Structure formats: C-alpha cells, structure tokens
Structure 1
Amino acid sequence: MIPKALARAGLSTADVDLYEINEALASVAVAAVRLLDLDPDRVNVASMWPGGGMGSAMVVEVPR
C-alpha cells in the first residue's frame, strides 16, 4: 500500500518525514519497515489492539 500511494503522489520514501503504521501486530510493522527499507527513526507504530483501548496509540521502537 505504501509504495503504491507514494507512486501515485510522485514521491519516494525519502520524501516523507514520518510514517505512521496503524497495526495491531508489531511483526507486521517491523516487516513493513524492513521490506520498504524505511528509517526506523521516522516510523511511528500505532497499536489498534482492542486491549489497548479504542483509538489509543502506542509508540514502539522498531528494531534495526
């Protein structure tokens, strides 16, 4: 989804200052960061897991 959206906008991953990935499973966010070769310092992972409360955001550090 991210590469397609960037292509439509005529941008590259380097053109984006901060990525926010809304995902319940941290492994999906880690995989996205690795597959897209994103700088982990420019990624915020918001957890939408029901146990965390609706709409809550949890910032986690993506392992390098």
Structure 2
Amino acid sequence: MPKITLSAASGGELGRLTRQEAASYLGVSASTMADWHRKGVGPASIKVGGRRFYRVEALNAVIINK
C-alpha cells in the first residue's frame, strides 16, 4: 500500500499515512495515537522501516464507529 498525502486521504484516496498525518486526519494528537497503540486500542497500524503507518481504511473505520 503506497504512502499518500493527508490531502489525498481527505479526498478519498486509499493508502497509508504517517502517525502525525493519521492524527491530523482523526483530529487527535500524535501522542494520543502512540498511547492508543501502546494500549492496543484505536486503528490498526503497520511498521515499515522503523516507522508506524496507518491505512486510511482503518482510520475511516474509527471515524464511523465514533
């Protein structure tokens, strides 16, 4: 799954976002995203090259379930 920009994700494109971009997409802080990951809650993530990414589909599922 390719890395995309936040604006592309907001436009409906699918791909993966960095933790900071994912946090902006959901309207929370990056530290909240990290805390969710440590607690095993929130959207699923993947690790690529030592960095954590979030698929837009997983972020949208969180939005729908709010």
Q: TM-score, normalised by structure 1?
A: 0.28
TM normalised by structure 2 equals 0.28
More helix by share: 2
Task: Name the larger-Rg structure.
Answer: 1
More strand by share: 2
